[in-house]
Amino acid sequence: MSELRHPIGTFDVLAPDSRRWEALLAVFARVVEGAGYGLVITPTFEDLQVFQRVGASTDIVRKEMYDFEDKGGRRVALRPEVTASVVRAFIQHRPTTPWKAWYAGSNFRYESPQAGRYREFHQVGIEVFGAADADLDVEVMALGWEFYRALGLRRVELMVNSLGDATCRPPYRALLIEYLEARSGDLCDEHRDRFRENPLRVLDCKRPTCKAVAADAPKQVEHLCDACGAHFARATGGLDALGIPWTLATNLVRGLDYYTRTTFEYAGLALDSAQNAVGGGGRYDALVEEMGGPSTPGIGFALGVERILMACDAEGTLAAPDAAVDVFVVDFAGGDAARDLTAQLRAAGVRADRSFDGRSAKAQFKVADRSGARLALVVGPDDAAAGTVMIRPLTGDRTQWATPRDQVVAEVARLLGS
Ligand code: AMP
């Protein structure tokens, strides 16, 4: 029988590596909850329409979606991103605005797997509904920035653009189409045929031909209406005021179509440039209404966990936090002693593990050392009879001593506390 393996483009994370994931999530929760965001949990799959409404003409929705018919004949899709689900949940539950939500979870895209690009990948993110204020754009961009800093990352670049709104986007779009018509012979095969449908996608195309055309294309930031111009000035001015460095990225449009006004991405400069986007986001002031809800402005970001961890590796930060347990119970007595002692330790809040199956002394102490515990509690047949337990430090001087069984939990707590 052939060996079973995880699907292409996915991976397993085992301890101690998974402890870094836990640490990353804890840091994220601390940063965003400290700014008033509450956790939202939405399903991993949705009605296909939820995603079709957010990006019918994007690669993410057209080519990369895991969609299928379920056993009840419903057309569903594994989520390729979380924003669409959170918008759907907002419309369904109508929480009081401004509504500030954060999430963590996996997404699915049928992409060509490579380093930093997976078919199931994980994101942490935030969304805010019901505030159009440019100061909120500053808050959102700053929270992403603070999160990277809190992880110890120093080589992250924040790139910012504005995509305008319903007033200034249509005339800009027309200008862009006019420019692309003149240069259509220089576009990649895909965009030569399709640029009229969604000209902004050309600006996001990674093929060298389109990149060259995009470099000279008209820029939305140079064609903003007064309101969008003022919004952009306030948002970027806020970053300056907070001392957060940013660069203007005039061709930054992002992979989905719903963005308006402020659009941004974080690049991990320690990573290979092909896969260095560690997160991105922007405003989507029309999206809630487009998805059938009341007209409500929104903004958010999504940050890629795998890429962030790669950046942490490259910058030598976020080591796996220390071992899981403080105490390891070594059992030479058999019977009930180890079971009961371990349960008492845990009930007293001491992180404790134990050996099973009556293994040899050598094997048990090997496991005890590997557990990272500071103390071993050794339960031998003589001790059990004498009503004592041996306490043995697993670091430094390993001399052990006997402690009365009924005092050992308190003694361990005292030793660990000091
Ligand atoms: P996006 O909304 O597509 O820009 O995704 C936001 C972030 O998620 C990106 O900046 C990446 O860090 C990460 N990301 C997107 N797609 C993938 C993928 N296929 N594998 C790993 N990370 C991804």
Domains in the chain, ordered, with CATH? 17-168+224-315 (3.30.930.10), 327-417 (3.40.50.800)
Rounded Cα distance, 393 and 106, in Å:
41
* Residue in the structure block whose two tokens are 């339960």: 379
Which residues line the pocket of ligand 1, CB cutoff 6 A?
Answer: 81, 109, 111, 116-118, 121, 123, 254-255, 277-280, 302, 304, 306-307
Rounded Cα distance, 386 and 350, in Å:
24
Atom of ligand 1 nearest to the CA of 254: 4
What pLDDT, on the 0 to 100 scale, is given for residue 178? 95
What pLDDT, on the 0 to 100 scale, is given for residue 361? 92
Nearest to 234 by CA among 277, 283, 167: 283
pLDDT tens string for the chain (418 positions)? 789 999 999 999 999 899 999 999 999 999 999 999 999 999 999 999 999 988 877 888 889 999 999 999 999 999 999 999 999 999 999 999 999 999 999 999 999 999 999 999 999 999 999 999 999 999 999 999 999 999 999 999 999 999 999 999 999 999 999 999 999 999 999 899 889 988 998 998 889 999 999 999 999 999 999 999 999 999 999 999 999 999 999 999 987 778 899 999 999 999 998 889 999 999 999 999 999 999 999 999 999 999 999 999 999 999 988 877 999 999 999 889 999 999 999 999 999 999 999 999 999 999 999 999 999 999 998 887 889 999 999 999 999 999 999 999 999 999 998 6
Atom of ligand 1 nearest to the CA of 255: 3
The residue nearest atom 4 of ligand 1, judged by CA position, is 280
* Residue in the structure block whose two tokens are 């440019």: 134
The residue nearest atom 10 of ligand 1, judged by CA position, is 279
Helix (H) or strand (E) holding 306: helix 305-315
Return the amino acid letter for 242: L
Helix (H) or strand (E) holding 237: helix 226-241
228 Cα–ligand 1 center, Å: 27
Both structure tokens of 192:
């030569």
Nearest to 390 by CA among 316, 333, 336: 333
Please report which residue ranges of 187-304 form alpha helices under DSSP H. Answer: 189-194, 200-204, 208-215, 226-241, 287-290
For the chain, the residue count is: 418
pTM for the whole structure: 0.93
Atom of ligand 1 nearest to the CA of 83: 2
Rounded Cα distance, 243 and 266, in Å:
16
Q: What SS3 class is residue 61? A: helix
Both structure tokens of 159:
């790139």
Both structure tokens of 417:
């506390």
Contact 107, 80 (CB under 8 A): yes
* Residue in the structure block whose two tokens are 């308006």: 260
Ligand 1 pocket mutation pick from 54, 118, 122, 123 by most atoms within 8 angstroms of CB: 123
What pLDDT, on the 0 to 100 scale, is given for residue 10? 98
What pLDDT, on the 0 to 100 scale, is given for residue 418? 65
Please report which residue ranges of 35-168 form alpha helices under DSSP H. Answer: 48-55, 59-62, 83-93, 134-151
Which residues does 331 contact at the CB level (< 8 Å), separation at least 6? 337, 338, 354, 355, 358, 364, 379
397 Cα–ligand 1 center, Å: 49
What pLDDT, on the 0 to 100 scale, is given for residue 5? 97
